[in-house]
Structure 1
Amino acid sequence: MTKNNLFYMLLLGSAALLQACGGNKKESAPSGNTAKNVSAFAVEEQIVTGYQEYPAYVVPLMETELRAEVSGYVTSISVADGAIVAKGQKLYEIDRTRYAAEVERAKATLAIAESDLERVNRDLGRYKKLAASDAIARQTLDYAETDLINQRAQVQSAKAALENANTNLNRSVIYAPFAGSVGISQVRTGALVTAGTTLLNTLSTSNPITVEFQVNERDIDRVLELQKSNASSGIEVRLPDGSIYGESGKISVIDRAIDRTTGTLRVRATFQNPQGKLRAGMNLTLRLANTSLDKQLVVPLRAVIEQLGAKSIFTISDSSTAVFNQVQLGTKFDDKVVVLKGLQAGQQVVVDGASNLSEGDKLSIQHK
């Protein structure tokens, strides 16, 4: 074989190899119109009974800080930490020795002042008789009348001092102003406390108890209806462990004004709490039952896409393509949610696979 023939055969083999490789590449190229697999659900209309949920926390009906009203050393503590107490029950005692002595001193001062008042009053009577016959100077009578006025003032001052001493003596014993439960004592026997400053303990009521939450402006009418009807059902709370508390509540207090910063209104619901399960400060979820008067549009929660606070749902066009819709949602219940705006009854919405879609994508649909 000549060199020319060999070169010619090599060229033919290379051309055939290039053609085969190019053909294979063209056949393996993916199609840009591949349909995406999704499942669909037809938008339904139905009467809805669901729950509107709000973050909430427990607030006692009454709560007060027990502070020392006089200074001194704590001589006794008559209640255990966390105990339930009755109204008027003795809780703490501060050293009474000094305050008892002040009471006795004030009594003695008052007795002297009253005795002096009687003497001055008798003197004035004699001076008046003498003045009637011009037996004494008019100035002497004037002085006697002035002494009587001053001595009356001394008696009033002594009475005020005695009342103040008695008040301090009474305040050296701290009693429960109402029935409730105390917390952990902030002082122990022998501690030095200062009037108006030292916190001894906190007392709060526990049964009944209130749960406080904030409602949006659009929910105010619903809350007002519940308060007027004095409804004892449809108001419940979910505990931190996820369970529903066994007692239903009643709307008891609605604040006078809307917070201009948040656009919300503060509301309190009252619950019976015989077992003490609801503790002051506990974080809960308050649920308000809401039954619609008319049929509402309902879709599965899985169909909703949330991005930066905006809610959207993909629907399916007649040509089986994805259509992007911004929506406004209402009451959630079970695994579904009410759609207030953005959809119409009978539309097909994408349930599974929506997170990977874009407007106009071709769809391969499986109906639910």
Structure 2
Amino acid sequence: MFLTSIKTWSVISCAVLLAACGGKQTAQQAGPPPATPVTVDEVRSTDAVYYDEYPGTVVALNQTEIRAQVTGYVTAIYFKDGDKVSKGQRLYSIDQQLYSANLDQAVANQQVQETNLLKAQKDADRYHELDKKDAIAKQQVDYADAALEAAKKQVAAAKANVNAVKANVGFATIVAPFSGTIGISQVRSGTSVIAGQTILNTISTDDPMAVDFPVDQKSFYQFAKKETGKKANDSTFSIAFGKDIYPFYGSVNTIDRAVDPQTGTIKIRLSFPNKEKMLKAGMNTTVRILNADGGQSIVIPYKAVTEQLGEFFVYVVGDSSKVSQRKLVLGNPIGTNILVKDGLKEGEKIVVEGMQNLRQGSVVTTTQPAPQGQGGAAAPKK
């Protein structure tokens, strides 16, 4: 029994050794894996014309909130929501009864003080005449002069009070501070408003309109250089809403005074014509700045690029038709192509189709495999 087991294990061991040797011999006969068929393209440089893009916001060049300057009830509204209004046009009225009554009282008080001043002036004149004749004590003359000065100050105070109350009467009628478009009213007739707190409406200009966007301080000088050489009707500055391009070009209106220390950006404001009223304050847009410096740039088909964990690569064909994966720094897309800022040189060959079957060190060929059933022969040309 024991001898039989030994013979059985010997036979199994020999079979395993023969199978291993046969597999090794088969692998040696098979040779290296076949080359992967791909499509390659040569890297070239060209005069790239593209747009630098920034997120922007449409804003009004002039906009202000209309607030009540006196407390009371809204008694009248003189416009329709969304109307075009002119500077000085009447917009709202707030109940003036209280302020008119206060004005009448202030005017009456001023008249009383003016009467007192007239009496004090006459008393002072009379005492001075008596003083010339030594017919009155000097102290009485001094009292008369002091009363005259006090009366003058009381008249001045009364006049100031009249002006203040008169201003409140004027503030009860609210007018447009400038010409523009008024929004939807936040109050209606009968609404109680509080001075300095209640927002009645918002008025803004709408032609031209502005677009604000931040620019990194590193590229600010390049941006400013473009603006220096800008000509009328230049297409350097444009905006887009999704795939729709706004049909009018813009120009620089304002550059902010300083760089934001937290973000390292500076705000730029562009101005765009808006006769068709297509731009509305608060809209989000994409600012497009034409970059046409005339320099040679590397541009490759975007389909040749693969992405891994937020980084971008291409397969570069090297010696012996072996490929290596090369990391790229990409720029702006240009149609179906992409600008390459770093990672490739002119004249290198890259894989543009078939990269899904590749890995580092794979051997490639540009010859496509023959269709099945052709015995390895090339497909006939049509």
TM-score (norm: length of structure 2): 0.83
Query: C-alpha deviations, 1:316-354, integer Å up to 9, x for none?
Result: 222333323333333432222322222111112233455
Q: Counterpart of 1:236 in 2: which secondary structure?
A: strand
Compared CA separation, residues 252 and 98, structure 1 to 2 (3 A): same
CA distance in 1, matches of 2:140, 2:89: 58
**CA-CA distance at 1:128 after TM superposition:** 1.2
1:278 aligns with 2:279: yes
Partner letter of residue 239 of structure 2?
Answer: V
CA distance in 2, matches of 1:70, 1:355: 73
CA distance in 1, matches of 2:146, 2:86: 53
Q: Counterpart of 1:327 in 2: which secondary structure?
A: strand
Q: Counterpart of 1:195 in 2: which secondary structure?
A: coil
Partner letter of residue 315 of structure 2?
Answer: F
**CA-CA distance at 1:306 after TM superposition:** 4.3
Compared CA separation, residues 92 and 366, structure 1 to 2 (3 A): farther
Compared CA separation, residues 44 and 157, structure 1 to 2 (3 A): same
* Contact map agreement 1:208 1:273 (CA 8 A) in 2: yes
**CA-CA distance at 1:355 after TM superposition:** 6.3
CA distance in 1, matches of 2:289, 2:354: 32
**CA-CA distance at 1:165 after TM superposition:** 0.8
Partner letter of residue 43 of structure 1?
Answer: V
Which segments of 5 or more consecutive residues in structure 1 lack a partner in the other structure?
Answer: 1-10
Equivalence for 1:43: 43
Query: C-alpha deviations, 1:182-208, integer Å up to 9, x for none?
Result: 221111111000001111111111100
Which segments of 5 or more consecutive residues in structure 2 lack a partner in the other structure?
Answer: 1-10, 369-382
Equivalence for 1:257: 258
1:57 aligns with 2:57: yes
**Matched ranges for 1:1-368 at <5 A:** 33=33, 35-231=35-231, 232-233=233-234, 234-240=236-242, 242-307=243-308, 309-354=310-355, 357-365=358-366
**CA-CA distance at 1:228 after TM superposition:** 2.6
% identical aligned pairs: 37
Q: Counterpart of 1:163 in 2: which secondary structure?
A: helix
Compared CA separation, residues 47 and 157, structure 1 to 2 (3 A): same
CA distance in 1, matches of 2:302, 2:69: 58
Q: Counterpart of 1:319 in 2: which secondary structure?
A: helix
Partner letter of residue 342 of structure 1?
Answer: G
Compared CA separation, residues 118 and 32, structure 1 to 2 (3 A): farther
Equivalence for 1:5: none
**CA-CA distance at 1:169 after TM superposition:** 0.7
CA distance in 2, matches of 1:120, 1:32: 124
Query: C-alpha deviations, 1:244-296, integer Å up to 9, x for none?
Result: 11110001111122222222221111000011111100000110111123211
Partner letter of residue 298 of structure 1?
Answer: V
TM-score (norm: length of structure 1): 0.86
CA distance in 1, matches of 2:298, 2:86: 54
**CA-CA distance at 1:304 after TM superposition:** 3.4
Q: Counterpart of 1:360 in 2: which secondary structure?
A: coil
CA distance in 2, matches of 1:36, 1:173: 83
CA distance in 2, matches of 1:181, 1:253: 22
Q: Counterpart of 2:360 in 1: which secondary structure?
A: coil
Farther off after superposition, 329-338 or 138-147: 329-338
Q: Counterpart of 1:210 in 2: which secondary structure?
A: strand
Q: Counterpart of 1:218 in 2: which secondary structure?
A: coil
Compared CA separation, residues 133 and 189, structure 1 to 2 (3 A): same
Partner letter of residue 364 of structure 2?
Answer: L
Q: Counterpart of 1:292 in 2: which secondary structure?
A: coil
Compared CA separation, residues 31 and 237, structure 1 to 2 (3 A): farther
Query: C-alpha deviations, 1:109-147, integer Å up to 9, x for none?
Result: 111112211221121111111112221111111111111
Partner letter of residue 185 of structure 2?
Answer: S
Farther off after superposition, 279-288 or 91-100: 91-100
CA distance in 2, matches of 1:182, 1:288: 32
Compared CA separation, residues 143 and 339, structure 1 to 2 (3 A): same
**CA-CA distance at 1:33 after TM superposition:** 4.1
Query: C-alpha deviations, 1:209-249, integer Å up to 9, x for none?
Result: 00111112232123212433344322111124x21111100
